[in-house]
A and B are shown apart, each in its own frame.
Chain A
C-alpha cells in the first residue's frame, strides 16, 4: 500500500514537473528567439533561418536525430537546444501527449504560424498515427508535401514500407510526412504457460494455434481448461479489428460517422470472449494498474498483442520474472500500432535543413539500421529489416529467450493494409471503446452503449451530425 502511495505521488509529481518543464521550455525558446530576431532581420530569400523549431512530445525524436544526423554538434544539458555544425540551432518544444496537451499547443502554434517571426515559426512537427490525418489534410495545408521540399517519395523513400507512405498522405495521395519507425504488432506469449497447456513453446507451433480468430477460440478453450486467460482485456484485440475497417470513420466531405461492421464484430466477439471467461474481466482497458499487473509473473494471462515498442517499454518493465520467459509469434491478423510521423511545416524558413533531417532520419538505410540496433525500433526500411530478420547474431533478444523478433515483425509489416484514415480517428477509436466497455462489463445494454457513443462523439466533434450503424 505504501508503495502504491509513493507511486501515485511520484506520478502526480512527475506530471506536474512535466507541465512546468513544458511551460519553461516554451517561454525560454520564445525569449531566445526574440533576442536573435533583433540581431538579424528577416532572412534574405534563399537564406536559411537561424532557428529550427521542432514540436514533439518526448525525447524520442531528439535522440534519433542526435544519433544519426551528421550535422549535429552538441545538445545543451537540459535538452532544449541542439546546435548544428553551421551554427543553426534546433529548439525542441516538448509538450506531453497526455490529454491532448501536445495537439493543443501545436494547434495554437500552427494558427499563429503566418504571423510568427521567422525564428518563431514551426519548422518541423511530429504526429502519431492516431491523429496524423488531422495534420496531413490537404485543405488545412499545414504539412508541406514532400515533393515541395525536394524529396521524391518514389525514389528517395522507395525502401520504406508502403503502408507508412499511405498513412502520411492526404486524400489526394500527396505524401506530407515520413517516418523512421514502423509498428507491426505480434502476439507475445508466455513460454511456461505454453509448455504446460500445449506441451510446446515453439513459436511456429504456437503460431498454428493462433492463426485465425476461429482457431484462437479453440485454443482459448484449452487455456481456459487449465485456468488461463488468452488475452488480458477486450481492449487488447481492438487494434486488430480497428485496423481492418473497410471505410474510414467519416468519408471525406461528410459529417456522418460510419461505424464499420468490423467494430461491431469486435464488440460481439469481445462480449462472447468475456462471457466465456477467455479474458480477465478484472482488467478494463489498457495502460492501467490492472493491465500492468496482468504482465507480471503471478498473472494468468497467456498472451498480449504488442508492437516492438510495446515489448520494450510496456511488457519488459512490468515483467518481474526472469528473462527468456516470453516469446513472439505471428498474430491472428496483421496490424499496426503507433508510429511517429515527421512533417515539414508550411511557412518554414529552413526548408533545406528540414529536408536534410527528414532524409537522414527516415530514409537513409544505414542510419535506420543503426536506430534499430541502438533503440530496438522496427525501422522503416524493407530491405534492412529483411537483413535484420536473417541476422540472428545482432538482433536476437535476451528478453525473448534469444529469439530474433525481427524475423516475425518483417512479414507482418509487409502485409499490413492500413485502414483508411480520417481526421476524426482518435476520438472515434477512444470513445467507441469507452462507450462499449460499459456494455461489455454488463452495466448497460447494447442500445444504451450506442446512444452513449453518439452523445460522446457529438460532444467531441460538434460538426458531426449523425452516426450510422451497420445493419
Chain B
C-alpha cells in the first residue's frame, strides 16, 4: 500500500501539562464533593466527644432541612446579596464607563483605580470588626450624629433588621465594587474604538452609546460578573458572621445559608451539613444555567430572529 503519512503528535504534552490541575482537582475537590454527597444520606455527628453514626438514614436529612427555617435563611441571603449587588454593579458600570471614556480625561485615574480596589484587600473579618465598632451604640458614628444635633438618642444600628442588613449590604458593596469596576473596564476597553467613532459620526449621544453599544458588547463579561457575584452571594458568610457574632441577630434576620451550615458544623453534624451543601450545589447549578442561557444566546443582535420573522412573512405572502 501507499506510504503512511507520519505526523508528529504533540497532543500528549498538552495532557501532561494540564495533568497537575486535574490531579489536584480530583484529590482536593472531587473526592470531598463525593464524600459530602455521600454523608448527606447519613446520620453522623458528635455528641460531646462521642461520635454518633454514620448510620444510613436515606433522605431524612433533606426532609428535616425542608421542615427547618432553611428557606428563611435563603431569603435572608438573597436580600443581603441584592442590597449589596445593585449599587455595586451600577456604580461599577458608571465608573468603568467614566474611566475608559477618553474625552472625559480624568486626572489621576490610575490612583482612583487603586483606591477603589483597596477595600477588597482588607480581610473581610477586619472590615466587619471595624464596622461593628463604628456603628455600635457608643461608637463614633452615633457620637458624630449626636454632636451634630441630628439625633438625640443613639441609633441602634445593629439592633434592627434594617440596620444590620443595610450594613452588611453596604460592606459587600464597598468590598466588591472596585473589583467589578476593574473587570468591566477591561471589557469596555476591549470594544473596538471604530464602533465608538462611527457612532459619534452618526450623532449618537452618550446615553445611546452606553445602552446600545457598550452594554451589548460587554455582555459576556457582565454575565461572568453576575455569575461570580451570585455564587459569592450564596456563600456569603464572613461579614454577617463577624458583624452579628455568628448569631444572625436580630431574630436571625441576617443569618445566611452558610452561617446556618456553620452552626451545624459546630457539632460536626456532617450529615445535615452535607444535605444543606447539596441543596446549595443544586441551587447554584440552576442559577448558573439560567444566567448562561440568558447571556449566551446565539443571537446576540437579534438578526436571526429578524430573519426568521421575515421568512415567515414571506411564506405568508406567498400563500
Q: Mark A132-159, 1 if CB is under 8 A from B, else 0.
A: 0011010110100000000000000000
A-B contact count (CB 8 A): 104
Residues of B within 8 A of A459 (CB): 260, 263-264, 266-267
Docked complex Cα distance between A443 and B250 (Å): 7
B159 and A289 contact, CB distance less than 8 A: no
Q: Mark B240-261, 1 if CB is under 8 A from A, else 0.
A: 0000001101111000000010
Docked complex Cα distance between A460 and B46 (Å): 10
User: How far is the CB of B82 from the nearest CB of chain A, in Å?
Assistant: 23
B130 and A461 contact, CB distance less than 8 A: no
User: How far is the CB of B112 from the nearest CB of chain A, in Å?
Assistant: 21
In B116-136, which residues have CB < 8 Å from any A CB? 123, 125-126, 129-130, 132-134, 136
Residues of B within 8 A of A293 (CB): 138
Residues of A within 8 A of B48 (CB): 134, 137, 140, 423
Docked complex Cα distance between A364 and B161 (Å): 54
A289 and B46 contact, CB distance less than 8 A: no
A282 and B138 contact, CB distance less than 8 A: yes
User: How far is the CB of B279 from the nearest CB of chain A, in Å?
Assistant: 16
Docked complex Cα distance between A11 and B129 (Å): 9
Residues of B within 8 A of A448 (CB): 251
Residues of A within 8 A of B263 (CB): 456, 459-460
Docked complex Cα distance between A438 and B47 (Å): 28
Instruction: Give residues in B with beta carbon < 8 Å to A.
Output: 45-52, 68-69, 123, 125-126, 129-130, 132-134, 136-140, 154, 156, 159-161, 246-247, 249-252, 260, 263-264, 266-267, 269, 272
A434 and B247 contact, CB distance less than 8 A: yes
Docked complex Cα distance between A7 and B129 (Å): 10
What are 9 A-B pairs with beta-carbon distances under 8 A?
Answer: A8-B126, A8-B130, A12-B123, A135-B49, A142-B49, A289-B132, A289-B133, A459-B263, A463-B47
**Chain A residue with minimal CB distance to B142?**
A282
Interface-centre pick from A4, A142, A290 (highest chain B CB count, 10 A): A4
**CB of A107 closer than 8 Å to a CB of B:** yes
Secondary structure type dominating chain A contacts: helix
A438 and B249 contact, CB distance less than 8 A: yes
In A309-360, which residues have CB < 8 Å from any B CB? none
**CB of A5 closer than 8 Å to a CB of B:** yes
**CB of A111 closer than 8 Å to a CB of B:** yes
B130 and A443 contact, CB distance less than 8 A: no
Residues of B within 8 A of A441 (CB): 156, 159, 250
Whether A1 touches B140, Cβ cut-off 8 Å, given contacts A8-B126, A460-B263, is: yes
User: How far is the CB of A436 from the nearest CB of chain B, in Å?
Assistant: 11
Closest 6 CB pairs of A and B: A12-B126, A282-B137, A8-B129, A443-B250, A423-B48, A8-B130
B251 and A4 contact, CB distance less than 8 A: no
Docked complex Cα distance between A12 and B50 (Å): 33
In A429-461, which residues have CB < 8 Å from any B CB? 434, 437-438, 441, 443-444, 448, 452, 455-456, 459-461
Q: Which of A8, A135, A290, A452 contacts B137 (CB 8 A)?
A: A290
Interface-centre pick from A15, A434, A462 (highest chain B CB count, 10 A): A462
A444 and B137 contact, CB distance less than 8 A: no
Docked complex Cα distance between A8 and B235 (Å): 24
Docked complex Cα distance between A456 and B51 (Å): 21
Residues of B within 8 A of A284 (CB): 137, 159
Docked complex Cα distance between A456 and B259 (Å): 12
Docked complex Cα distance between A441 and B136 (Å): 15
User: How far is the CB of A73 from the nearest CB of chain B, in Å?
Assistant: 34
B137 and A443 contact, CB distance less than 8 A: no
